[in-house]
Structure 1
Amino acid sequence: MKTDFANFGNINQWTEWHLTPRGWERGNKNHEDSPLVIKLEPPIDRILTCRYHENFSNNSVWMKSHISEVWTISDQQILDQMLDKFGSCPQSL
């Protein structure tokens, strides 16, 4: 019997991160295949919002992670300054 691990017991979890003048702040999150998303208001002074994703099989045969940009300020100079100061999107839940 062949098992297709790509579709067996997959877990998709993610956390949004907001870059602010104070640094990175945690936002909305969805963990461990929960149908409920924990929602938090984004900071009014956010500069960038990104989402860190982790997808893995329930039996830990494989794991993939990636970051997607959700929202960004139009002022590229401010964005570059804050990224230089605080670094890129955290790769953690």
Structure 2
Amino acid sequence: MSSKEWREWHLTPNGWVAGTLQHDSGRNQISSPDNKVLTCIYKETIAPDAMALSGYGEPGFNQSSNVSIIWRCSNHQLISELLDKFGSCPERI
């Protein structure tokens, strides 16, 4: 069985702020900051590999991840400046 987890990240004038987190055990809902200019979601999936599913050998796991923009304000210049200052969306839960 695979594990699918994600976290929202909000870019603000103060940097990246962690938002809502989805774990296998449930969701930790966090309000987004009022001063956000961009919201991304970082997703991570961890699944057993073929060896783990076959029952032979040491089980291993395959991990994949991706980042998607789910909201942005209309001030593209500000977004660009803040991305230059703070970097791209964090790739971590």
TM range (shorter): 0.7 to 0.9
Distance 2:88 2:42 in 1: 11
Provide closer, same or farther for how the CA distance between residues 29 and 84 of structure 1 changes in structure 2, counting only shifts above 3 A. Answer: same
Task: Give the number of the structure whose residues are more often strand, by fraction.
Answer: 2
Give TM-score scaled by structure 2 length: 0.84
Show the counterpart of 1:49: 39
Specify the structure having the higher radius of gyration (Cα): 2
Which residue among 6, 14, 19 is the counterpart of 2:6?
14
Distance 2:43 2:60 in 1: 16
Q: Following TM superposition, by how much is the alpha carbon of 1:60 offset from its aligned partner in structure 2, in angstroms?
A: 4.3
Show the counterpart of 2:55: none
Name the SS for the 1:82 alignment partner. helix
User: How many pairs are equivalent?
Assistant: 83
Sequence identity percentage: 39
Provide closer, same or farther for how the CA distance between residues 60 and 37 of structure 1 changes in structure 2, counting only shifts above 3 A. Answer: farther
Show the counterpart of 2:27: 37
The answer to whether structure 1 residue 76 and structure 2 residue 62 are counterparts is: no
Give TM-score scaled by structure 1 length: 0.84
Name the SS for the 2:74 alignment partner. coil
Which residue among 7, 28, 38 is the counterpart of 2:20?
28
